[in-house]
Structure 1
């Protein structure tokens, strides 16, 4: 593998191996294993693919995973009632609602129904507030995975300049909080750029690390990148490719082929941030188990 590539598969594999041993110990001590319920509404192909990957990873480490497949015509009240029943079930440690939901459903209202103690995606307002206050409980898995990747590079974030392109509640905002926090993996000077930012290039050319998470190909181009910097590409975009059996291939939000020539490190898509996201979700589910035991 190219020495410039940050291998998310390899890092996540190490994390999962440690988790498997930990879950074996949990099973011996508590006679059960951590459990996760994934709520999947409708038949979005990307969502189905992501959920399968999560289910497979759970099986690998020994986490009990149930996929609740719901029809896209389900009412908001029915989903909320189901989530509330999971909140009350002490055999369920964590739950996630796979996003995006069909347009007729209020994502925010549904996500906020999840108990903060079972919110392993870290999207409830209470958990985001705890992260902002410096006492995180559950951190969204993708930002957590990005932070872990950076730490594996032996890169000192303290005093460094990091630019995040994208301000979503799922990635950009929590990642900025993580990387600027008063911790050994934080203390960076973080700038968030977004769709209303002017002259993003001015900020990225000064950055030691650029994290791009917009969901649009070619958001980050070679002329926007400082030589020897580090690029973390969170984007996953499907583009048509008739040479592939399934008719498409995956690319990120950066011009990978051009940028790799000048940077010191870059994440591939696929095989970069994606595997780390799943590994961090597994860690969050295990953490939720311990919180439930304490309760």
Structure 2
């Protein structure tokens, strides 16, 4: 039996549909949602991703501000730009596109974003609130994965979820989110990573596998329990080709699976828009 495809484009359209009414309500009281991006350098995948975010904003009537900085920008120059965005009333939320050039301190940069304007949910305050079980702004990819599964009626309550990857943008916040005592969550979560030589020993016990290691094909069919849910959240570019953490042969074993293109990516961008709308709503009380 072929796996059910977890169509992120379909799910993202459902999310956007719900956002339109909220954006209209804000417009009715004179508020136009404002989202800004900061891109340092000319990394092609990052530039393409930022362009897609601006296209999403245009689709929903969100005003977007595109800030481009030279790859050699100093940390002080970048922090000054962030401070200007923190104080700009037109900008309800913004993001600094990752990864940053190696000479810039990523943790220091993320900490400089005002927590209420942190559309990516990566500020230490927002990550801390998630750890405390009181999330305000949730990182976009973890939130998108959870919403994608919810829209396909995948209930995680009591399920064993193996998350491959421990990064701050996906693995760590996702593990915290999945364990929250909330309807549809309440999962038992095991976090592993690419340095573990016997990954299959863990994944073959999982009802749900979420691969976020950024290691192409790290999950193969022999590592998957028949009928399991498999989400490929980690991606790598080989030239212009997008490679997934999940090998193609997994589709012959899984019960549900995300496609290589059009799975988690559209949902990440949709949840970014949701965070932007929430920030605008909070700004008006």
Q: So what's the TM-score if we normalise by structure 2? A: 0.97
Alpha-carbon distance in 1 for matches of 2:6, 2:217? 19
Alpha-carbon distance in 1 for matches of 2:3, 2:165? 27
Task: Give CA deviations for 1:17-47 in whole Å, capped at 9, x if unaligned.
Answer: 2212321221112x12110110011100000
Q: Which moved more, 1:140-149 or 1:87-96?
A: 87-96
Task: Give CA deviations for 1:193-249 in whole Å, capped at 9, x if unaligned.
Answer: 013434221110010000001111111111111100010001222235xxxxxxx42
For the 8 Å contact 1:17–1:61, the answer to whether it is kept is no
Secondary structure of 2:56's counterpart equals: helix
Alpha-carbon distance in 2 for matches of 1:219, 1:196? 11
User: Counterpart of 1:265?
Assistant: 256
**Deviant stretches of 4+, over 4 Å:** none
Alpha-carbon distance in 1 for matches of 2:3, 2:258? 11
Alpha-carbon distance in 1 for matches of 2:172, 2:159? 18
Q: Does 1:114 align with 2:123?
A: no
Q: Does 1:275 align with 2:275?
A: no
User: Counterpart of 1:245?
Assistant: none
Q: Does 1:7 align with 2:7?
A: yes
Matches within 5 A, 1:58-77: 58-77=57-76
For the 8 Å contact 1:236–1:270, the answer to whether it is kept is no
Alpha-carbon distance in 1 for matches of 2:73, 2:92? 24
- Following superposition, the deviation at residue 162 of structure 1 comes to 0.4
Matches within 5 A, 1:183-194: 183-194=182-193
User: Counterpart of 1:204?
Assistant: 203
Give the CA RMSD over aligned residues: 1.2
- Structure 2 segments unaligned to the other structure (5+ residues): none
Matches within 5 A, 1:1-295: 4-29=4-29, 31-239=30-238, 248-256=240-248, 258-294=249-285
Matched positions, count: 284
Alpha-carbon distance in 2 for matches of 1:32, 1:292? 9
Alpha-carbon distance in 2 for matches of 1:225, 1:182? 27
Task: Give CA deviations for 1:151-195 in whole Å, capped at 9, x if unaligned.
Answer: 112122111100000000100011111111111131100000013
- Following superposition, the deviation at residue 3 of structure 1 comes to 6.1
Secondary structure of 1:192's counterpart equals: strand
Alpha-carbon distance in 2 for matches of 1:185, 1:198? 31
Task: Give CA deviations for 1:114-156 in whole Å, capped at 9, x if unaligned.
Answer: 0011011011100000001011011100000000111112122
For the 8 Å contact 2:3–2:252, the answer to whether it is kept is no
Alpha-carbon distance in 2 for matches of 1:11, 1:249? 23
Alpha-carbon distance in 2 for matches of 1:164, 1:232? 10
Q: So what's the TM-score if we normalise by structure 1? A: 0.93
